[in-house]
Protein backbone atom coordinates (compact mmCIF):
# COMPACT_ATOMS: atom_id res chain seq x y z
CA UNK A 1 0.00 0.00 0.00
CA UNK A 2 1.56 3.27 -1.07
CA UNK A 3 -1.21 5.64 -0.10
CA UNK A 4 0.66 8.68 -1.42
CA UNK A 5 0.47 7.31 -4.97
CA UNK A 6 -3.21 6.31 -4.65
CA UNK A 7 -5.83 8.19 -6.63
CA UNK A 8 -8.62 9.96 -4.64
CA UNK A 9 -11.21 7.35 -5.67
CA UNK A 10 -9.06 4.51 -4.42
CA UNK A 11 -8.51 6.35 -1.13
CA UNK A 12 -12.25 6.69 -0.69
CA UNK A 13 -12.70 3.02 -1.49
CA UNK A 14 -10.00 2.13 1.06
CA UNK A 15 -11.66 4.23 3.72
CA UNK A 16 -15.04 2.62 2.97
CA UNK A 17 -13.44 -0.80 3.15
CA UNK A 18 -11.65 0.06 6.42
CA UNK A 19 -14.90 1.21 8.00
CA UNK A 20 -16.77 -1.88 6.79
CA UNK A 21 -14.11 -4.10 8.35
CA UNK A 22 -14.24 -2.25 11.68
CA UNK A 23 -18.04 -2.33 11.77
CA UNK A 24 -17.98 -6.07 11.00
CA UNK A 25 -15.45 -6.71 13.78
CA UNK A 26 -17.57 -4.74 16.24
CA UNK A 27 -20.78 -6.60 15.34
CA UNK A 28 -19.14 -10.01 15.36
CA UNK A 29 -17.43 -9.71 18.71
CA UNK A 30 -20.80 -8.91 20.24
CA UNK A 31 -22.27 -12.02 18.64
CA UNK A 32 -19.56 -14.63 19.20
CA UNK A 33 -17.23 -13.15 21.86
CA UNK A 34 -13.55 -12.33 21.54
CA UNK A 35 -12.16 -15.85 21.75
CA UNK A 36 -14.26 -17.03 18.77
CA UNK A 37 -13.72 -13.86 16.72
CA UNK A 38 -11.69 -14.64 13.59
CA UNK A 39 -10.16 -12.61 10.77
CA UNK A 40 -11.93 -14.98 8.35
CA UNK A 41 -15.34 -14.16 9.80
CA UNK A 42 -14.60 -10.41 9.83
CA UNK A 43 -13.51 -10.56 6.17
CA UNK A 44 -16.64 -12.50 5.18
CA UNK A 45 -18.97 -10.13 7.05
CA UNK A 46 -17.25 -7.04 5.62
CA UNK A 47 -17.10 -8.42 2.07
CA UNK A 48 -13.34 -7.86 2.14
CA UNK A 49 -10.35 -10.09 1.52
CA UNK A 50 -8.47 -11.63 4.46
CA UNK A 51 -5.25 -10.25 2.95
CA UNK A 52 -6.68 -6.72 3.06
CA UNK A 53 -7.23 -7.07 6.80
CA UNK A 54 -3.77 -8.56 7.43
CA UNK A 55 -2.20 -5.75 5.38
CA UNK A 56 -3.73 -3.12 7.69
CA UNK A 57 -3.79 -4.84 11.10
CA UNK A 58 -1.41 -7.33 12.72
CA UNK A 59 -4.09 -9.16 14.77
CA UNK A 60 -7.79 -9.40 15.54
CA UNK A 61 -7.13 -7.52 18.78
CA UNK A 62 -5.76 -4.62 16.74
CA UNK A 63 -8.84 -4.60 14.49
CA UNK A 64 -11.13 -4.60 17.50
CA UNK A 65 -9.29 -1.72 19.12
CA UNK A 66 -9.64 0.37 16.00
CA UNK A 67 -13.35 -0.54 15.94
CA UNK A 68 -13.75 0.82 19.47
CA UNK A 69 -11.63 3.86 18.58
CA UNK A 70 -13.90 4.55 15.58
CA UNK A 71 -16.89 4.34 17.94
CA UNK A 72 -15.36 6.63 20.53
CA UNK A 73 -14.43 9.18 17.85
CA UNK A 74 -18.03 9.13 16.66
CA UNK A 75 -19.16 9.65 20.24
CA UNK A 76 -16.92 12.47 21.24
CA UNK A 77 -17.38 14.23 17.92
CA UNK A 78 -15.04 17.17 18.25
CA UNK A 79 -13.14 15.24 20.95
CA UNK A 80 -14.48 17.53 23.68
CA UNK A 81 -17.32 17.38 26.18
CA UNK A 82 -20.10 19.97 25.80
CA UNK A 83 -19.25 23.25 27.53
CA UNK A 84 -22.28 25.50 27.82
CA UNK A 85 -20.94 27.05 31.00
CA UNK A 86 -23.39 24.98 33.08
CA UNK A 87 -21.26 22.11 34.41
CA UNK A 88 -24.10 20.16 35.99
CA UNK A 89 -26.23 20.29 32.82
CA UNK A 90 -23.25 19.34 30.64
CA UNK A 91 -22.32 16.38 32.84
CA UNK A 92 -25.92 15.19 32.85
CA UNK A 93 -25.95 15.31 29.03
CA UNK A 94 -22.79 13.20 28.89
CA UNK A 95 -23.79 10.68 31.58
CA UNK A 96 -27.27 10.26 30.07
CA UNK A 97 -25.67 9.55 26.69
CA UNK A 98 -23.26 7.07 28.29
CA UNK A 99 -26.12 5.33 30.13
CA UNK A 100 -28.10 5.13 26.90
CA UNK A 101 -25.18 3.67 25.00
CA UNK A 102 -24.50 1.06 27.70
CA UNK A 103 -28.18 0.02 27.48
CA UNK A 104 -28.08 -0.27 23.69
CA UNK A 105 -28.14 -3.95 22.64
CA UNK A 106 -25.85 -3.09 19.70
CA UNK A 107 -23.11 -2.00 22.10
CA UNK A 108 -23.78 -4.27 25.09
CA UNK A 109 -22.30 -7.44 23.55
CA UNK A 110 -19.15 -5.85 22.06
CA UNK A 111 -18.48 -3.97 25.30
CA UNK A 112 -18.89 -7.07 27.44
CA UNK A 113 -16.45 -8.87 25.11
CA UNK A 114 -13.95 -6.01 25.40
CA UNK A 115 -14.22 -5.86 29.19
CA UNK A 116 -13.81 -9.63 29.52
CA UNK A 117 -10.56 -9.37 27.58
CA UNK A 118 -9.46 -6.42 29.71
CA UNK A 119 -10.06 -8.47 32.88
CA UNK A 120 -8.37 -11.48 31.33
CA UNK A 121 -5.29 -10.05 29.69
CA UNK A 122 -3.02 -7.47 31.39
CA UNK A 123 -1.26 -6.64 28.09
CA UNK A 124 -4.52 -5.87 26.30
CA UNK A 125 -5.65 -3.96 29.40
CA UNK A 126 -2.52 -1.77 29.24
CA UNK A 127 -3.08 -1.18 25.53
CA UNK A 128 -6.73 -0.25 26.18
CA UNK A 129 -5.67 2.10 28.94
CA UNK A 130 -3.17 3.94 26.72
CA UNK A 131 -5.16 4.05 23.52
CA UNK A 132 -8.74 4.49 24.72
CA UNK A 133 -9.26 4.97 28.43
CA UNK A 134 -6.65 7.66 29.09
CA UNK A 135 -7.49 9.77 26.00
CA UNK A 136 -11.21 9.61 26.93
CA UNK A 137 -10.35 10.49 30.52
CA UNK A 138 -8.29 13.47 29.33
CA UNK A 139 -11.31 14.79 27.43
CA UNK A 140 -13.42 14.51 30.58
CA UNK A 141 -10.74 16.15 32.75
CA UNK A 142 -10.51 19.01 30.25
CA UNK A 143 -14.18 19.89 30.91
CA UNK A 144 -13.60 19.69 34.68
CA UNK A 145 -10.51 21.90 34.37
CA UNK A 146 -12.58 24.53 32.57
CA UNK A 147 -15.09 24.36 35.48
CA UNK A 148 -12.24 24.76 37.97
CA UNK A 149 -11.11 27.91 36.15
CA UNK A 150 -14.68 29.23 36.30
CA UNK A 151 -14.73 28.55 40.06
CA UNK A 152 -17.43 25.88 39.75
CA UNK A 153 -15.23 23.12 41.14
CA UNK A 154 -12.86 23.04 44.10
CA UNK A 155 -9.41 24.23 43.04
CA UNK A 156 -7.73 21.29 44.81
CA UNK A 157 -10.10 18.66 43.38
CA UNK A 158 -8.31 15.49 42.25
CA UNK A 159 -9.56 15.34 38.67
CA UNK A 160 -8.76 11.64 38.21
CA UNK A 161 -10.85 10.77 41.26
CA UNK A 162 -13.58 13.15 40.11
CA UNK A 163 -13.85 11.39 36.73
CA UNK A 164 -14.02 7.98 38.46
CA UNK A 165 -16.67 9.23 40.85
CA UNK A 166 -18.81 10.41 37.94
CA UNK A 167 -18.37 7.53 35.52
CA UNK A 168 -17.61 4.40 37.59
CA UNK A 169 -21.16 4.08 39.02
CA UNK A 170 -22.48 3.63 35.45
CA UNK A 171 -19.85 0.98 34.74
CA UNK A 172 -20.70 -0.89 37.94
CA UNK A 173 -24.47 -0.80 37.36
CA UNK A 174 -23.98 -2.00 33.78
CA UNK A 175 -21.56 -4.79 34.73
CA UNK A 176 -23.64 -6.24 37.54
CA UNK A 177 -27.01 -5.33 35.98
CA UNK A 178 -27.82 -4.00 39.44
CA UNK A 179 -30.36 -1.41 38.33
CA UNK A 180 -31.74 0.48 35.34
CA UNK A 181 -29.30 2.69 33.42
CA UNK A 182 -31.89 5.45 33.35
CA UNK A 183 -31.59 9.18 32.78
CA UNK A 184 -32.74 9.56 36.39
CA UNK A 185 -29.81 7.47 37.65
CA UNK A 186 -27.37 9.51 35.53
CA UNK A 187 -28.80 12.75 36.92
CA UNK A 188 -28.65 11.56 40.54
CA UNK A 189 -25.01 10.47 40.13
CA UNK A 190 -24.06 13.90 38.79
CA UNK A 191 -25.98 15.75 41.50
CA UNK A 192 -24.59 13.59 44.31
CA UNK A 193 -21.02 13.76 43.02
CA UNK A 194 -21.17 17.53 42.63
CA UNK A 195 -22.91 18.39 45.90
CA UNK A 196 -21.56 15.58 48.06
CA UNK A 197 -23.36 13.28 50.47
CA UNK A 198 -23.28 15.62 53.48
CA UNK A 199 -26.40 17.52 54.56
CA UNK A 200 -26.73 21.00 53.07
CA UNK A 201 -24.80 23.51 55.11
CA UNK A 202 -22.94 20.71 56.93
CA UNK A 203 -19.50 19.20 56.52
CA UNK B 1 -27.35 -34.73 55.03
CA UNK B 2 -29.41 -34.64 58.22
CA UNK B 3 -27.25 -32.32 60.27
CA UNK B 4 -29.55 -32.53 63.28
CA UNK B 5 -28.79 -36.25 63.71
CA UNK B 6 -25.02 -35.89 63.18
CA UNK B 7 -22.66 -36.27 66.15
CA UNK B 8 -20.64 -33.14 67.11
CA UNK B 9 -17.30 -34.62 65.90
CA UNK B 10 -18.74 -35.50 62.52
CA UNK B 11 -20.21 -32.01 62.22
CA UNK B 12 -16.81 -30.48 62.88
CA UNK B 13 -15.22 -32.79 60.32
CA UNK B 14 -17.91 -31.86 57.78
CA UNK B 15 -17.36 -28.18 58.40
CA UNK B 16 -13.58 -28.61 58.00
CA UNK B 17 -14.13 -30.52 54.78
CA UNK B 18 -16.60 -27.89 53.49
CA UNK B 19 -14.11 -25.10 54.16
CA UNK B 20 -11.26 -27.04 52.52
CA UNK B 21 -13.39 -27.53 49.39
CA UNK B 22 -14.35 -23.85 49.23
CA UNK B 23 -10.75 -22.72 49.75
CA UNK B 24 -9.60 -25.11 47.00
CA UNK B 25 -12.27 -23.80 44.59
CA UNK B 26 -11.23 -20.22 45.32
CA UNK B 27 -7.52 -20.92 44.76
CA UNK B 28 -8.08 -22.95 41.61
CA UNK B 29 -10.34 -20.48 39.82
CA UNK B 30 -7.63 -17.87 40.28
CA UNK B 31 -5.10 -20.21 38.72
CA UNK B 32 -7.02 -21.74 35.81
CA UNK B 33 -10.08 -19.49 35.30
CA UNK B 34 -13.73 -20.45 35.54
CA UNK B 35 -14.08 -22.31 32.26
CA UNK B 36 -11.26 -24.74 33.16
CA UNK B 37 -12.34 -25.16 36.79
CA UNK B 38 -13.53 -28.74 37.43
CA UNK B 39 -15.09 -30.60 40.36
CA UNK B 40 -12.33 -33.21 39.94
CA UNK B 41 -9.59 -30.63 40.43
CA UNK B 42 -11.36 -29.06 43.42
CA UNK B 43 -11.74 -32.50 45.03
CA UNK B 44 -8.07 -33.35 44.45
CA UNK B 45 -6.85 -30.01 45.82
CA UNK B 46 -9.12 -30.26 48.89
CA UNK B 47 -8.29 -33.92 49.56
CA UNK B 48 -12.01 -34.68 49.39
CA UNK B 49 -14.09 -37.10 47.35
CA UNK B 50 -15.91 -35.92 44.22
CA UNK B 51 -19.10 -37.45 45.63
CA UNK B 52 -18.79 -35.31 48.77
CA UNK B 53 -18.78 -32.20 46.61
CA UNK B 54 -21.71 -33.37 44.48
CA UNK B 55 -23.68 -34.21 47.66
CA UNK B 56 -23.35 -30.63 48.89
CA UNK B 57 -23.35 -28.57 45.68
CA UNK B 58 -25.17 -29.05 42.35
CA UNK B 59 -22.45 -27.43 40.20
CA UNK B 60 -19.01 -25.81 40.19
CA UNK B 61 -20.73 -22.43 39.96
CA UNK B 62 -22.52 -23.19 43.24
CA UNK B 63 -19.22 -24.17 44.92
CA UNK B 64 -17.56 -20.99 43.73
CA UNK B 65 -20.40 -18.83 45.00
CA UNK B 66 -20.14 -20.38 48.43
CA UNK B 67 -16.38 -19.77 48.32
CA UNK B 68 -16.98 -16.06 47.68
CA UNK B 69 -19.72 -16.05 50.34
CA UNK B 70 -17.26 -17.57 52.86
CA UNK B 71 -14.77 -14.84 51.94
CA UNK B 72 -17.31 -12.05 52.27
CA UNK B 73 -18.49 -13.41 55.65
CA UNK B 74 -14.87 -13.41 56.84
CA UNK B 75 -14.54 -9.83 55.61
CA UNK B 76 -17.63 -8.36 57.11
CA UNK B 77 -17.18 -10.28 60.37
CA UNK B 78 -20.32 -9.42 62.26
CA UNK B 79 -21.98 -8.59 58.92
CA UNK B 80 -21.87 -4.88 59.68
CA UNK B 81 -19.55 -2.02 58.76
CA UNK B 82 -17.62 -0.36 61.61
CA UNK B 83 -19.67 2.33 63.33
CA UNK B 84 -17.52 4.49 65.61
CA UNK B 85 -19.81 7.48 65.08
CA UNK B 86 -17.24 9.01 62.68
CA UNK B 87 -18.64 8.22 59.23
CA UNK B 88 -15.65 9.51 57.25
CA UNK B 89 -13.15 7.51 59.34
CA UNK B 90 -15.30 4.37 59.14
CA UNK B 91 -15.70 4.63 55.36
CA UNK B 92 -11.95 5.15 54.97
CA UNK B 93 -11.32 2.00 57.02
CA UNK B 94 -13.65 -0.01 54.78
CA UNK B 95 -12.43 1.44 51.46
CA UNK B 96 -8.79 0.99 52.45
CA UNK B 97 -9.50 -2.66 53.31
CA UNK B 98 -11.32 -3.12 49.99
CA UNK B 99 -8.44 -1.53 48.08
CA UNK B 100 -5.95 -3.77 49.88
CA UNK B 101 -7.97 -6.88 49.13
CA UNK B 102 -8.31 -5.97 45.45
CA UNK B 103 -4.51 -5.55 45.31
CA UNK B 104 -3.88 -8.92 46.98
CA UNK B 105 -2.57 -11.44 44.41
CA UNK B 106 -4.47 -14.20 46.26
CA UNK B 107 -7.77 -12.47 45.50
CA UNK B 108 -6.99 -10.80 42.18
CA UNK B 109 -7.20 -13.98 40.05
CA UNK B 110 -10.37 -15.40 41.63
CA UNK B 111 -12.08 -12.03 41.44
CA UNK B 112 -11.17 -11.51 37.79
CA UNK B 113 -12.55 -15.01 37.07
CA UNK B 114 -15.78 -14.20 38.90
CA UNK B 115 -16.21 -10.86 37.13
CA UNK B 116 -15.55 -12.42 33.72
CA UNK B 117 -18.37 -14.89 34.38
CA UNK B 118 -20.62 -12.07 35.58
CA UNK B 119 -19.98 -10.16 32.33
CA UNK B 120 -20.43 -13.33 30.31
CA UNK B 121 -23.49 -14.96 31.83
CA UNK B 122 -26.66 -13.02 32.74
CA UNK B 123 -28.00 -15.95 34.83
CA UNK B 124 -24.86 -16.14 36.95
CA UNK B 125 -24.89 -12.33 37.15
CA UNK B 126 -28.44 -12.39 38.56
CA UNK B 127 -27.44 -15.08 41.05
CA UNK B 128 -24.39 -13.05 42.11
CA UNK B 129 -26.54 -9.96 42.49
CA UNK B 130 -29.07 -11.73 44.75
CA UNK B 131 -26.68 -13.80 46.83
CA UNK B 132 -23.65 -11.54 47.19
CA UNK B 133 -23.92 -8.05 45.77
CA UNK B 134 -27.28 -7.03 47.26
CA UNK B 135 -26.58 -8.42 50.78
CA UNK B 136 -23.17 -6.65 50.79
CA UNK B 137 -24.85 -3.48 49.53
CA UNK B 138 -27.47 -3.74 52.31
CA UNK B 139 -24.68 -3.87 54.91
CA UNK B 140 -23.14 -0.72 53.42
CA UNK B 141 -26.50 1.05 53.26
CA UNK B 142 -27.15 0.16 56.91
CA UNK B 143 -24.07 2.19 57.91
CA UNK B 144 -25.18 5.10 55.74
CA UNK B 145 -28.70 4.94 57.25
CA UNK B 146 -27.19 5.21 60.71
CA UNK B 147 -25.27 8.31 59.54
CA UNK B 148 -28.49 9.74 58.10
CA UNK B 149 -30.18 9.31 61.50
CA UNK B 150 -27.22 11.06 63.14
CA UNK B 151 -27.63 13.96 60.70
CA UNK B 152 -24.24 13.27 59.05
CA UNK B 153 -25.75 12.57 55.63
CA UNK B 154 -28.45 14.35 53.65
CA UNK B 155 -31.87 12.96 54.61
CA UNK B 156 -32.90 12.65 50.95
CA UNK B 157 -29.67 10.97 49.85
CA UNK B 158 -30.23 8.06 47.44
CA UNK B 159 -28.37 5.33 49.34
CA UNK B 160 -27.97 3.05 46.33
CA UNK B 161 -26.29 5.83 44.38
CA UNK B 162 -24.22 6.74 47.45
CA UNK B 163 -22.86 3.17 47.74
CA UNK B 164 -22.02 3.14 44.01
CA UNK B 165 -20.30 6.51 44.29
CA UNK B 166 -18.12 5.21 47.13
CA UNK B 167 -17.27 1.74 45.86
CA UNK B 168 -17.44 1.86 42.05
CA UNK B 169 -14.24 3.95 41.65
CA UNK B 170 -12.27 1.12 43.32
CA UNK B 171 -13.85 -1.44 40.99
CA UNK B 172 -13.04 0.66 37.94
CA UNK B 173 -9.42 1.31 38.94
CA UNK B 174 -8.94 -2.39 39.69
CA UNK B 175 -10.56 -3.56 36.44
CA UNK B 176 -8.66 -1.24 34.12
CA UNK B 177 -5.50 -1.15 36.27
CA UNK B 178 -5.70 2.60 35.75
CA UNK B 179 -3.87 3.58 38.94
CA UNK B 180 -2.61 2.33 42.30
CA UNK B 181 -5.24 0.99 44.71
CA UNK B 182 -3.61 2.93 47.51
CA UNK B 183 -4.87 4.06 50.90
CA UNK B 184 -4.51 7.60 49.56
CA UNK B 185 -6.86 6.86 46.68
CA UNK B 186 -9.39 5.27 49.06
CA UNK B 187 -9.24 8.32 51.32
CA UNK B 188 -9.65 10.80 48.45
CA UNK B 189 -12.68 8.90 47.11
CA UNK B 190 -14.34 9.03 50.55
CA UNK B 191 -13.52 12.71 51.04
CA UNK B 192 -14.69 13.71 47.55
CA UNK B 193 -17.89 11.66 47.76
CA UNK B 194 -18.79 13.07 51.16
CA UNK B 195 -17.93 16.71 50.51
CA UNK B 196 -18.74 16.86 46.82
CA UNK B 197 -16.81 18.38 43.96
CA UNK B 198 -18.07 21.98 44.40
CA UNK B 199 -15.88 24.63 46.01
CA UNK B 200 -16.35 25.02 49.78
CA UNK B 201 -19.26 27.36 50.52
CA UNK B 202 -20.52 27.06 46.93
CA UNK B 203 -23.32 25.03 45.36
Query: Which of B122, B151, B176 faces A129 most closely, judged by CB atoms?
Result: B176
A189 has pLDDT over 80: yes
Higher-pLDDT residue of B200 and A104 is A104
pLDDT at site A203: 43
The minimum CA-CA distance between A1 and chain B, rounded to whole Å, is 35
Residues of chain A in contact with residue B196, where contact means CB-CB under 8 angstroms, are: 192-198
Distances (CA, A) of B34 to B68, B111, B112: 13, 10, 10
| Least-confidence region, from A36-50, A186-200, B30-44, B71-85 | B71-85
Complex ipTM: 0.84
Contact predicate A138/B138, CB 8 Å: no
pLDDT at B78 over 60: no
Find, in chain A, the residue whose alpha carbon is nearest to that of B87.
A198
A111, A194, A198, A200: best mutation site toward chain B, by most B Cβ within 10 Å? A198
The DSSP result for B49-62, as a single string, is -HHHHHHH-SSHHH
Q: pLDDT value at position B2?
A: 47
The CA distance from B58 to the nearest CA of chain A, in Å, is 23
In this predicted structure, the answer to whether residue B61 has a pLDDT above a threshold of 50 is yes
**How many beta-carbon pairs below 8 A join chains A and B?**
160
Average pLDDT, rounded, for chain B:
88
The pLDDT score that the predictor gives to residue A25 is 94
- The pLDDT, as a whole number, for residue B5 is 57
Mutate to test the interface with B, among A165, A177, A200 (most CBs of B within 10 A): A165
Q: Say if the Cβ atoms of A165 and B169 lie within 8 Å.
A: yes
pLDDT digits (tens, 9 = 90+) for A112-152: 988 988 888 888 889 889 988 998 999 999 999 999 999 99
pLDDT at res. A77 = 47
Confidence of residue B74 (pLDDT cuts 50, 70, 90): low
Neighboring chain B residues of A95 at a CB cutoff of 8 Å: none
- CATH superfamily for B1-60 is Homeodomain-like (1.10.10.60)
> pLDDT digits over B117-166, tens only?
888 888 888 988 988 899 899 999 999 999 999 999 999 999 999 999 99
Q: Which pLDDT belongs to residue A43?
A: 96
Is B68:B135 a contact under the CB 8 Å cutoff?
no
Residue B87 predicted with pLDDT over 90:
yes
Looking at the partner chain, which of A165, A172, A197 has a beta carbon nearest the beta carbon of B171?
A172
Domain range annotation of chain B: 1-60, 78-203
pLDDT of B190 strictly over 60: yes
In the prediction, which pLDDT does B6 show?
Answer: 57
For residues B153-182, one letter each, b for 16 or more C-beta atoms within 10 angstroms of the residue's C-beta and e for the rest, the string is bbeebbbbbbbbbbbbbbbbbbbbbbeebe
Asked whether the predicted pLDDT for residue B200 surpasses 90, the reply is no
Contact B161 A198 (CB under 8 A): no
CA separation for the pair A66, A72 (Å, rounded): 10
pLDDT at B98: 94
* The pLDDT value given to residue A9: 80
The verdict on a CB contact (< 8 Å) between B165 and A126 is no
Kindly state the percentage of chain B with pLDDT values over 90. 58
Do A154 and B199 make contact, defined as CB atoms within 8 angstroms?
Answer: yes
Residue A89 region by backbone torsions, left for phi larger than 0, else alpha for psi between -120 and 50, else beta: alpha
**Fold category of A1-59 in CATH:** Arc Repressor Mutant, subunit A (1.10.10)
Residue B106 has pLDDT above 90, yes or no: no
Interface test with B, best of A133, A168, A191, A203 (most B CBs within 10 A): A168
> For A26-81, what is each residue's pLDDT tens digit?
999 888 887 788 999 999 999 999 999 999 998 888 888 888 888 776 654 456 89
* CATH class name, domain B78-203: mainly alpha
3-state helix, strand, coil in chain A (%, to 5): 75, 0, 25
Q: Do B177 and A116 touch (CB under 8 A)?
A: no
pLDDT at B191: 96
Of B153, B164, B185, the CB nearest to A198: B153
Task: Please give the DSSP secondary-structure letter assigned to residue A197.
Answer: S
Contact A116 B119 (CB under 8 A): yes
Nearest to B129 among A112, A178, A202 (CB): A178
A112/B128 touch (CB, cutoff 8 Å), yes or no: no
- CB-nearest partner of A161 from B128, B167, B189: B189
pLDDT of residue B76: 47
Q: Which residues from chain B sit within 8 angstroms of residue A162, using beta carbons?
A: 192, 197
Query: Which residue does chain A place closest to B196, by CA atoms?
Result: A196
Instruction: Report the percent of chain B where pLDDT is more than 70.
Output: 92
Q: Are A98 and A186 in contact (CB under 8 A)?
A: yes
**Tell me, what's the pLDDT at A49?**
94
Q: Which residues of A touch B129 (CB under 8 A)?
A: 176-178
Residue B77, pLDDT score? 47
Give the distance from residue A104's alpha carbon to the nearest chain B alpha carbon, in angstroms: 15
Amino acid sequence: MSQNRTAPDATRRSERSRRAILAAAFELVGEVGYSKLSIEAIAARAGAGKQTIYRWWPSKGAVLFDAFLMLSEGETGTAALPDTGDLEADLKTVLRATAEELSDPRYDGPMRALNIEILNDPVLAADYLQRLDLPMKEIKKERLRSAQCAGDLAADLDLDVAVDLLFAPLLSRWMFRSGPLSAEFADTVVETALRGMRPAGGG
